[in-house]
Each structure stands twice: as structure tokens, then as C-alpha cells.
Amino acid sequence: MTKTPDINIVVDKFRAVEHADIAINGITVVAGENGSGKSSISKLLYFLYRTVAGYDNIVKSKLLYDLRDVAQLLDIMFQEYRTSETSDIKEGNRRYSLTLRKSLLESDHLEIEVYKWLEAINIVENYYKDSENNKINPIKQNRIYRILLDILKPKEHELNMTESFEALRIFVQEQFSLAQTNIRNRPTSIFIEELIELFSKEDLPQKFEVLEYGSPIVALDSEQLSIPYNIQNAIYIDSPIIFYGDGSNNEHWDDLLELMQKPSNENSNIANLINTEIIKGQVTADDSIYATEGYKFLRNDGQIFNLLDVATGIKSFSILQLLLKNGSINEKTLMIIDEPESHLHPQWIIEYARIVVLLNKHLGVKFFLATHNPDMVSAIRYISEKEGTLEKVNFYLAEQSDEKFKYNYKSLNTDIEPIFASFNIALERINQYGI
Amino acid sequence: MKYSKQATVAYAGALGKEECLEPLNDFIIREGYSEGDLGFVADDELIDMDCVEHIIASYEKRSPSKSMDSSFIADNDEVVFMEFRFNYQNLKNLDRQKLIDKVKGSTIALSNPTNLHKKYYFVFNSNLKQQAISRLNRMNPMIPQNYIAVDMKDVMDLFFSPETPSTHPSS
């Protein structure tokens, strides 16, 4: 009996992908022409696991977004509160909404957080009503009233102040209640919203399904997202240029940069191997306002460089080294890497492949690699065989379907010949020039 | 251009190396071929170039030089060299200089024939052929373009089948 794959990704009719049924057991390598949909699958996979693994956080972020105007109103009112009280209390008030927001994102108990928000509304309502002491003058009162109405957008009748604050409390309670329901039920719609943000509504896959041990855990047409077991976090690397990418508006770059800035205190054999055998040095991430300027490359001869100034190949390995040292990579991690060979000398392509195989073998890290490079394909194939992990390696080739610009992903298991046949077309072309 | 048994046997005779003739089917099995019967004629024979080189080396009291595995004569009287690389390790050990030395050694063993076919064939298992093509083409320094990686199906199509399909490597 054929062993059921740990993970199966099924994609139908999505951009250039006509059909793909891709297994991830350890290392999955996908090859194919430019424009055959490899990166589209990579992104789909990344944002899926980003959503399902960070589901609660996404719901909380959405909740915070929906409460953004309420938070701003609280900020305004605390600022407007003219008081005779001590500056310490004023400082406390200024931080009130910031603390609320931070606490919401970090909390696992929204049922507690909602009361903090309601309490804050009570406080500002009392400030507002405290006109006897003239804490807020009438002009400012009117402004706040207008803001309240803007948030609540009452349809049927104009609310008075008391009604407005009551309506605001109900609004906040409803938003929290919706978020709690979403966390409880894990509706697929949250993931679909993420995809629409990424790809646009017309561009969603006709079918997208993820199976774990043969059982569906995610399907666009099912109501709920299951909790994955095998993969708990995904990391997407598509270019070592990321170090220049602060403020790039690329969500996956922002995610990766944030991950790389986590403090490093893990002792990793493979990070050490990257240091001693490959890049001859190590990278550190300093605390810095400008994160990308905070990376230093400490070469083993004692020289220190800004990482932005070192060879791009060193940056490629630095990403892995940093993630290993700060414990971001473990047996539940899916590393999605687009063209890992980019910017690497052929010798380092082999070393990169070796690191991938060793991470899979020793840490159980899973990989989804999209590549155009024969040495990368060969090295993954033969180093895995040598390390005794070939049974967890799967190769795929995107082959053009009957329809132009559409591709089917053919499973090759461990046979890399068809990938080489496709690469060798280039050699035939070169030979035509008699070189 | 096709294999000629008559010319091959005659050439071995002219070299005085009839003992180096060996049926093709036996030859490739001895070299590790295991991909099934492609329909080669049972009594078609190749010249074992290692055998030729050993006889010459023994006569000249020297160590044998590197040589291609086999040769045969085509129906246009050209000498065709073929090296069999059916084992996985043979892909791993593709060394540019060794391949060049093999061609050189066998060319000398045949006294630098003027009718040597312009392409030298290196025959791999079909599940390694494309990788071999890639490796040969990407050697640095580049190996001459007339060093060709093929599989036994290509050999059959090129030299042993009645008609040459248009898709195989050109002969």
C-alpha cells in the first residue's frame, strides 16, 4: 500500500496552474518554465499556513482594525480631558488606549478584553458628562459627539449623547462577539478574505484543498478551517534582497524581517556549519529603529561588515542562519523558498541544497522549493539519497497543458530525468549557435 | 548511417583482433545494461576496445592506455566509438579529461584512422541520460560538442533500426 503523504496540496485552475496535486513529506521540489505558476502555488501555500497557524492573531488584528475608530475616539477624549489631576494620571490616560490595543493582540481571553474596552468607554463617557467642572468645553463636546455619530452611523434616528455611548458599547460588544465566534468556528471566509486581498476576487483558485494524512483540513468550499498538526508555521523566502526591503509593502517580506529580528539565543549545529564551512562568519540582528541597517556580518577573521554591504550569496545563507539561531525553524516549519539558487555561485548552490537536506534530516523541517537550476535539483536528489532521506523527497515538473499558458504539475517521485530534459532544451538552443 | 556487421567483422580481421569481437547483447549486459530487450539482432557484434588495447599494450610491454569500451563499423565505413556508462557511479565519475583520454587512447589503438566518425557516444541508462547530457554540456572547461550522451534506445534508433526517427540525436 502506498503511504499517504503527510501533506497534499491540490490546486485547480489558479492563474497558470491547470491542475496540481503536490505532496509534501520532507522536501518537495517543483520545476517548470517561468510563468508556470510555481510562485503562485508558493504564495497560496504561505498565506494558507500563515492564516491557519496564526488564525487567532489574524482575527484579533481584524478586530482591532474594526475598532480603530473607537480607539481613536478614546485617544482624543483622553487628550481632551482637561484635568487638575496630576501629570502622572494624565500620562496613564494617554497610554490607556495603547495598552488596550496591545493587550487585545496579546490576550487569549477576548471575554476579558471586551470589559477593558467597555470600562474605557465608561470612563470617557463620565468625562464627557462631567461638564459641571468644564473638563471638556462645548465646542469640543460637539466634535466628539460628531465623531461618535460617524462611528455608529445611526440610520433611523439621531442618537442623543447617552444613547450614543450606549450604542458604542453595543458596537464594541458586537465586534468582540463576532471575533470570538470566528476564533471558535474558524470559518474559511477569513482565509478567503486574505486571498482576495492578495490575489483579487476574480483570481481565486477554482479548487484549493489541503489534506493532512489524506484527510482534508482546508478547502475553499468547506465552511471551516481545521487546525493543522504537521505544519504550524510557514516561512516564505523569495529573495535575499529582502534585507533592503524594509517598508516594502510585501507582506511576506515584512513577516520574514520581523521573524529575523527575534532575539538569537539558540545553539544550532547547522547554523554553526553555515558559519564554519560556508560563509565563514555569522550574522547578528541588532535592535535598531531601521531594522535592515541592524544586521551585521561578523567575519571569522574579526572584520565586521554591515550585512547590506556583503555578497548577496552570504545574505541568502544569513537568512537561514538567523532563523536557526533564533529558533524560528523547527520540525513543524514549512520553508517555502522560491529559486534558492538566486545569486549563488554553483558551489554554494550545492551547499545550500546540503543545508536544506540536513535541516530536513535532523530538524524535520519541511521544504517547498521552486527552482530553475539543474545543480540544485541534482544536489537535493543525490544528497538526500546519501543522507538516507530520499523517500521523503518529491519532485514535480510543470508541463504545459493543452491550453496555452496553462500547466499541469506532473509527479516525478524521485526521478529527475524529466526535469533535466526540460532544462536541456536550453543546451540544445546554445548548441544551435555552435558554441 | 547504420551498423554494418560485415564491415565490423572485416575490420576486426584486418586489425588481427578477431578475438575482440563480442555479441552486442552480451557486451552491454556485461557492462551492466538492465533495461530490457530493445530488439538488437542476436549475432550483431562489437569490437571490444579494451581487448584491443590490452593486446597492443601487452605486445608493446606497457600498461594499457585508457580506451573507449567498443567500436563498430558503419555502412559508410566510418569507425564509431561507444562507451557504456550504465552504472549510477558512472554518472558521478564523469571526468572531462578521462573521457578525452579514452577517445585519444582508442584512436591511437586503431592507428589514427581517417574514417573515424565525428561523434563519440557515451551510453547511459535512460533514467540518467538527460542528467548526463546536462553534465557533459556544462563541463568546465567545455567538453567538445561531439561527445554525445545517449541511451540504448537512441543507439538502436541511430544505428540498428531500419529507419532513423527524426527525434533522436543526430548521427
**Which range, of A112-116, A194-198, A335-339, A361-365, averages the lowest pLDDT?**
A194-198
Distance CA A357, CA A364 (A): 10
How many residue contacts between A and B have a Cβ separation below 8 Å? Answer: 32
- The answer to whether A417 contacts B130, with C-beta atoms less than 8 Å apart, is yes
* pLDDT average, residue stretch B49-65: 95
Q: Does a cis peptide bond (omega within 30 degrees of 0) precede residue A418? A: no
> Between A417, A420, A431, which is nearest B145 by CB?
A431
User: Using CA atoms, how far apart are residues A244 and A251, in angstroms rounded to an integer?
Assistant: 14
Query: A248 or A34: which carries more pLDDT confidence?
Result: A34
- Inform me whether the pLDDT recorded for B78 exceeds 60: yes
**Least-confidence region, from A132-136, A311-315, A416-420:** A132-136
Q: Would the pLDDT of A409 be above 90?
A: yes
* Inter-chain touch A420–B130, beta carbons under 8 Å: yes
CB contact under 8 A, B137 and A423: no
- Give me chain A's average pLDDT, please: 87
Question: What is the DSSP pairing of strand A7-14 with strand A17-24?
Answer: antiparallel
Phi, psi (5° rounding) for residue A97?
-70, -35
Binary contact (B137, A415; C-beta < 8 A): no
Cell readout for A358 is 540536513
- With 0-12 / 13-18 / 19 or more C-beta atoms within 10 angstroms meaning exposed / middle / buried, residue B156 is middle
Q: Where are the domains of chain A?
A: 24-54+231-432, 60-184
CB contact under 8 A, B134 and A374: yes
Q: What does the alpha-carbon distance between residue A72 and residue A100 come to, in Å, rounded to a whole number?
A: 12
% of chain A at pLDDT higher than 90: 55
Give the tens place of pLDDT for each residue, B18-39.
999 999 999 999 999 999 888 8
What pLDDT shows up at residue B52? Answer: 97
Which residue has better confidence, A138 or A272? Answer: A272
**Contact yes or no for A415 and B127 at CB 8 A:** yes
pLDDT score of B166 more than 70: no
Half-sphere CA count of A419, side-chain side, radius 13 A: 27
Output the average pLDDT for chain B. Answer: 91
pLDDT at A308: 84
Q: Any chain B CB within 8 A of the CB of A31?
A: no
pLDDT of residue A134 exceeding 70:
no
Task: Tell which wins on pLDDT, A380 or A260.
Answer: A380
Q: Which of A96-100, A269-273, A357-361 has the highest mean pLDDT?
A: A357-361
Taking CA–CA distances from B138, the nearest residue in chain A reads: A427
Give the closest-approach CA distance of B44 to chain A in angstroms.
30
Sign of CA dihedral B3, B78, B81, B131: negative
Interface mutation vs chain B, best among A347, A350, A383, A423, most B CBs within 10 Å: A423
Q: Please report residues of B whose CB lies closer than 8 A to that of A373.
A: none
Any idea which fold A24-54+231-432 has? Rossmann fold (3.40.50)
Residue-wise pLDDT for A195-228, tens only, equals 898 888 788 999 999 999 999 999 999 998 888 8
pLDDT score recorded for residue A85: 54
Residue A270 has pLDDT above 70, yes or no: yes
**Which of A80-89, A174-183, A236-245, A347-356 shows the lowest mean pLDDT across its residues?**
A80-89
- The reported pLDDT for the residue numbered A257 is 86
The confidence score (pLDDT) of residue A435 equals: 53
Residue A250, min C-alpha distance to chain B (Å): 36
pLDDT score for A341: 93
Identity of the residue in B126, B128, B130 whose CB atom sits nearest the CB atom of A424: B130
- For residues A91 and A276, which has the higher predicted lDDT (pLDDT)? A276
- Residue A20, pLDDT above cutoff 60: yes
Q: Lowest-pLDDT range, A251-255, A389-393, B126-130, B164-168?
A: B164-168
Chain B residue with minimum CA distance to A424: B134
How sure is the predictor about A63, in pLDDT bands with cuts at 50, 70 and 90?
very high
Contact B2, B44 (CB under 8 A): no
Compute the nearest-CA separation of A263 from chain B (Å). 43
Greater confidence (A385 vs A266) lies with A385
- For testing the chain A interface, which of B91, B134, B170 should be mutated: the one with the most A CBs within 10 Å? B134
Q: What is the pLDDT of residue B37?
A: 86
* Residue A289: band (very low, low, confident or very high) from pLDDT cuts 50, 70, 90: very low
Nearest to A287 by CA among A315, A306, A263, A305: A263
Q: Is the pLDDT of residue A184 over 50?
A: yes
> Rounded CA gap, B130 and B139, in Å?
14
Distances (CA, A) of A193 to A43, A223, A261, B133: 15, 13, 28, 47
pLDDT confidence bin for A246, thresholds 50/70/90: low
Residues of B in contact with A350 (CB under 8 A): none
Reported ipTM? 0.79
In this prediction, residue B168 carries a pLDDT of 52
pLDDT at A201: 78
Nearest by CB: B134 against A418, A427, A431: A427
Q: State the DSSP string of B68-120.
A: -SEEEEBTTS-EEEEEEE-SHHHHHT--HHHHHHHHHHHHHHTT--TTB-S-E
Whole-prediction pTM: 0.82
